[in-house]
Amino acid sequence: MTRGPEQGILPADDKLWQGQGAMGKLKVYGVPRSRAYRVLWMVNELGLDYEHVPVHFGDGSAKTAEYLAVNPNGRIPAIDDDGLKLWESMAINLYLAKKHDKGLWPKTIEDEAQALQWSFWAITEVEKPALAALLHRMFLPEDMRDPRLADEGEQQLQQPLKVLDQALAKTGYLAGASFTVADLNVASILSWARLARVDLSAFPHVKQWLTAALGRPAGEKAAPKRAS
Ligand SMILES: N[C@@H](CCC(=O)N[C@@H](CS)C(=O)NCC(=O)O)C(=O)O
């Protein structure tokens, strides 16, 4: 019999792990206090019916054979969309936004290209320094924090934030004239900078756009609550 995660938050006989949940229903794997927040935000924006499987990155539940069959990297997030197993948060969001075309997928090929550009940019230029600031200002236990690494992360964010601010000065959005997957992907990564109290005062367009994006009801619903 297929077993659930040994050290996870799910019971061993959990139907989701046994593939006996609602057939074909989208499954989203990963606790909100992780990169899975990005995907949970997206599915909420799209109003999708989904099952949330709260696999955790720190308790071994992402390393079980069952979960490795979904994401062989043993990382969260991942989805199972009626048999399509997909991982990498940006790829998942781009796929879902395009598949369900509810206004979050750009309308022209040029704007699509912008959405890809900004998603790749966020993950390569922004994620690492934002994570350093987050880890060393609030996530790690206090005795493991290194303020120098946090400040270095904030410093490394200055150039990308300048680029983003200039782009947002034009239309207020990153791909076309409305909120799309590009804004969601970049804002969800920059949420770490906000949590880490990175000073955004020199980037007024970023500040305004980030507050509006993270305050969207779907984003707030997806955001980690205490102990999630
Ligand atoms: N590039 C991946 C990164 C996924 C990732 O590193 N997730 C973390 C949690 S936020 C994780 O699962 N860490 C556990 C590990 O690396 O063992 C994505 O964006 O989906």
What pLDDT, in 10s, does the model give residues 135-194? 999 999 999 999 999 999 999 999 999 999 999 999 999 999 999 999 999 999 999 999
- State the distance from the centre of ligand 1 to the C-alpha of 204, rounded, in angstroms: 30
Answer whether 56 contacts ligand 1 (Cβ < 6 A): no
Whether residue 21 has pLDDT greater than 50: no
DSSP state of 157: H
pTM: 0.90
- Is residue 10's pLDDT more than 90? no
172 CB near ligand 1 (under 6 Å):
no
| Closest to 186 measured CA to CA, from 103, 124, 136, 111 | 124
pLDDT at 11: 40
Q: Whose CA is closest to atom 6 on ligand 1? A: 75
27 in Cβ contact with 53 (< 8 Å): yes
d(CA 195, CA 32): 14
Q: Is the pLDDT of residue 14 over 90?
A: no
**Ligand 1 pocket, 89 CB below 6 A?**
yes
Ligand 1 centroid vs 108 CA: distance in angstroms? 31
Distance 205 CA to ligand 1 centre (A): 29
Span of 3-17, 28-42, 109-123 with lowest mean pLDDT: 3-17
Q: What is the pLDDT of residues 22-41, one digit of tens each?
A: 468 999 999 999 999 999 99
Q: How far is the CA of 30 from the centre of ligand 1 (A)?
A: 10
Q: How far is the C-alpha of 150 from the C-alpha of 162, rounded, in Å?
A: 19
Closest CA to 57 of 92, 29, 84: 29
Q: Per-residue pLDDT tens for 58-76?
A: 999 999 999 999 999 999 9
Which residue, by CA, sits nearest to atom 15 of ligand 1? 75
